Structure 1
Amino acid sequence: MCAESVVNNQTSATTEDAQALEALPVDETLDHIEFHIRHDLQKRLDLYLRDRLPHHSRSMLQKLIRAGAALVNNRPAKSSTLLRAGDTVQLDIPPAVDHHALPENIPLQVIYEDDHFLAVNKQADLLVHPARGHWTGTLINALLYHAGQTAGTLSTGSDPWRPGIIHRLDRHTTGLILIAKTDEAHWRLAGQFERRTIHKTYLAIVHGVPALDNDMIDAPLGVHPGNREKYAVRTEGGRPAQTIYHVRERFGRSSLLELNPKTGRTHQLRVHLAHIGHPIVGDVTYGGRELTPLDITGPAAPPSPKPICPVIGRQALHAWRLHFVHPFSFTRMSLEAPLPADMLELLSVLRGTGR
């Protein structure tokens, strides 16, 4: 039987959220939270609070905002209020159900580690950190176990739910991710990401063959107008986004691309490649298709009653290399994560058929 396909599910308000909302008028039950916005985020208030408070559902946060529990610069705000540098956000919110990330013995492929940070080759189907409905089985749980086994630490960062996390990869994207072990290493590495001095290189297998060997995709991105769980090219109101691509191999009806994102927008590579008509193989969210051996080689035998499984059951996207400066020795570093088995198998089949 083939592996179960990935399905995106929208999260609704939890029972705990509803009970907490009913308790809103009782001041003694509320926590007062305050955030100071340091950068010009151009992000809606409800989306910002969802990211900062992952243990509360977005629908509950919107109800709290409508009830007047959220202030921006000491004035009642709307869910659609855009946050800018210098804003202060205040929120009175019912205490969340207490969740704690616990160590779990989940395999980790450590590419590099010293006293300040480590680099991990993240496997597919692994969330980076706990979120609504996914409190276990994440990279954070694996890192906590690794730290306990090696007498190591993880940075606290800006969010206690995401110790050590400087940047993220999508659940089904594999490859390099840097993890800070100390707070000082965290802000030094995070600063390199913010200044865009870290050079990131991805590998992707896409449908079709781009007309140009090299090009830059310059297309602003924003939330999809019809599905807030997705992103899309938005010429009006989108945030600037640039991706440079280089064609490494051609297979007739598909290609291996090397990608260098110049910005770091959510789903940027996936949306940009779909935008130019070359979605990533397996990325069904953005127009890609799962490829079976028959799709690639053509029928070589009579049809079988057994299901034909795809060669790869996720988007064929891998964070391959990182070039950056060590946060303490200031030496230039270059780390590389080997391709996972499913992408190697897909490439092997494509190279054997020229498709």
Structure 2
Amino acid sequence: MPRERSLSEEPTEFVVKARVEARRIDHYLHSRFPDYSRSVFQKVIDAGAVLVNGQPVKASYKVQQDDVIRVWLPTLDHGPPKAEEIPLSFVYEDEALAVVDKPPGMVVHPAKGNWSGTLVNALQFHLDELSSASGEHRPGIVHRLDRDTSGLILVAKADGAHFALARQFEERTIHKQYLAIVSGAPGRDSDYIEKLIGPHPTHREKMAIRRPEDGGKEAVTFYRVVERFRGYALLLCEPKTGRTHQIRVHLAHIGCPIVADKLYAGRDRLTLGDLIGPDSPDADRVLIDRQALHAHRLWLSHPKTGAPMELTSPLPADMAGVLDALRAHRPLDEPGRR
């Protein structure tokens, strides 16, 4: 059994459903998070790290329908991550940092449910030095990308470089551009989306547009339409803040969810049939089976020399294939179509 360590920095928040009403909260939390024992949750509750409707409770509290529960889960220690021989594409590397072109489907660092096969496991095989500033489970990791988002991610080799890069993120002097293929098309060619983002009230894996009193925090995304198609568009997005799932939530909010984004678009794939009709030959061919979001460009100052750096990553094959299919089957200027 893994042993429990310190509490997570960010709480998990969710709403109690009617079917679990009147259960002790320690029993309820254990059933919802089976990796943790009931005795662990009793200690977490005693430490004041479980809030119900904004107030601490005792382990004997009976949960009620529509209770809003916020819990700081203990981190689980499976030991330091081990080096694994996993191929990586390095865009840049020197003695202070490396920049990796992360493939889709790769989790950045070990966590519950993903203790191997992560970017950290691969980095420990490929690099001799990694910063320790983020702890033993996340060596070298300065920022993250979602599992199914591809593209550029910074890796610090030394603690000094890590702190310098973290300061740039905090001061918002590192600039990022993403390319996203979306369903629908914005009415404007470019715009800012300024909507507060916080934990979803009922779905613990999602984020949502929230009010300040519900945990919403400032989130700003600039977008520009690069190419339009019938029913779809290619957008260039620049997040001005760094909230979890920010681009995905903002684009879904304006009615243009990212293609194949299971959480926010409701579908985890795009097929050729979606573009040309279900009765067409080869209609079942999957064009992409992950969210069509790619971290395309980074601007930063070198953490040691201060020299300006600009790094780019071309579109991966799956997103490029979607664009080829859209140009072939969904051009705006197709005769007789609107």
TM range (shorter): 0.7 to 0.9
> Are residues 288 and 215 of structure 1, via their aligned partners in 2, closer, same or farther at CA, if it must alter by over 3 Å?
farther
Question: Among 103, 107, 110, which residue is 1:127 paired with?
Answer: 107
Question: Among 186, 190, 203, which residue is 1:210 paired with?
Answer: 186
Q: How far did residue 197 of structure 1 move?
A: 0.7
> 1:1-355 residue pairs with structure 2 within 5 A?
16=1, 44=11, 57=36, 62-66=41-45, 68=46, 70=47, 77-80=48-51, 98-147=78-127, 152-237=128-213, 238-289=216-267, 290-298=269-277, 301=280, 308-355=284-331
1:37-96 Cα distance to aligned partner (Å, 9 max, x none): xxxx8x54999xxxxxxxx75987643221x2x3xxxxxx242399xxxxxxxx9x8x96
SS of 2:188 mapped into structure 1: coil
Cα distance in 1 for residues equivalent to 2:154 and 2:187 = 34
Cα distance in 2 for residues equivalent to 1:96 and 1:44 = 15
Structure 1: gaps (5+ residues): 1-15, 22-30, 36-40, 48-55, 71-76, 83-90
Cα distance in 2 for residues equivalent to 1:270 and 1:58 = 34
SS of 1:260 mapped into structure 2: strand
Q: One-letter code of the match for 2:115?
A: W
**Contact kept? 2:196, 2:218, Cα under 8 Å:** yes
Q: How far did residue 173 of structure 1 move?
A: 0.2
Where in structure 1 do 4 or more consecutive aligned residues deviate above 3 Å? 43-47, 56-63, 95-98, 298-302
Q: One-letter code of the match for 2:189?
A: D
Cα distance in 2 for residues equivalent to 1:333 and 1:270 = 27
Q: One-letter code of the match for 2:191?
A: D
SS of 2:218 mapped into structure 1: coil
Q: How far did residue 99 of structure 1 move?
A: 2.3
SS of 1:315 mapped into structure 2: coil
1:200-253 Cα distance to aligned partner (Å, 9 max, x none): 100000001100001010000111111111110002430110100000000111
Normalising by structure 1, we get a TM-score of: 0.75
**Contact kept? 2:76, 2:112, Cα under 8 Å:** no
**Contact kept? 2:91, 2:101, Cα under 8 Å:** yes
Cα distance in 1 for residues equivalent to 2:77 and 2:166 = 30
Cα distance in 2 for residues equivalent to 1:182 and 1:135 = 24
Percent of aligned pairs sharing the same letter: 46
Q: One-letter code of the match for 2:296?
A: W
Q: One-letter code of the match for 1:140?
A: V
In structure 2, the residue matched to 1:27 is none
Cα distance in 2 for residues equivalent to 1:58 and 1:321 = 44
Q: How far did residue 296 of structure 1 move?
A: 1.2
Q: How far did residue 183 of structure 1 move?
A: 0.5
**Contact kept? 2:273, 2:280, Cα under 8 Å:** no
Cα distance in 2 for residues equivalent to 1:218 and 1:235 = 12
Q: How far did residue 160 of structure 1 move?
A: 1.2
**Contact kept? 2:97, 2:156, Cα under 8 Å:** yes
Cα distance in 2 for residues equivalent to 1:322 and 1:59 = 45
1:8-32 Cα distance to aligned partner (Å, 9 max, x none): xxxxxxxx37xx79xxxxxxxxx7x
Q: How far did residue 300 of structure 1 move?
A: 7.2
> Are residues 156 and 58 of structure 1, via their aligned partners in 2, closer, same or farther at CA, if it must alter by over 3 Å?
farther
Structure 2: gaps (5+ residues): 15-34, 55-71, 332-338
Q: How far did residue 299 of structure 1 move?
A: 5.7
1:298-330 Cα distance to aligned partner (Å, 9 max, x none): 36746x7xx813200000000000001011111
**Contact kept? 1:251, 1:351, Cα under 8 Å:** yes
Q: One-letter code of the match for 2:252?
A: A
SS of 1:311 mapped into structure 2: strand
Q: How far did residue 134 of structure 1 move?
A: 1.4
**Contact kept? 1:207, 1:288, Cα under 8 Å:** no
In structure 1, the residue matched to 2:19 is none
Normalising by structure 2, we get a TM-score of: 0.78
SS of 1:255 mapped into structure 2: strand
Q: How far did residue 139 of structure 1 move?
A: 0.3
Q: One-letter code of the match for 2:50?
A: S
Q: One-letter code of the match for 2:51?
A: S
Q: One-letter code of the match for 1:245?
A: Y
1:122-171 Cα distance to aligned partner (Å, 9 max, x none): 00110000111211100001100001xxxx30000132100000000000
Cα distance in 2 for residues equivalent to 1:288 and 1:202 = 21
Q: One-letter code of the match for 1:191?
A: R
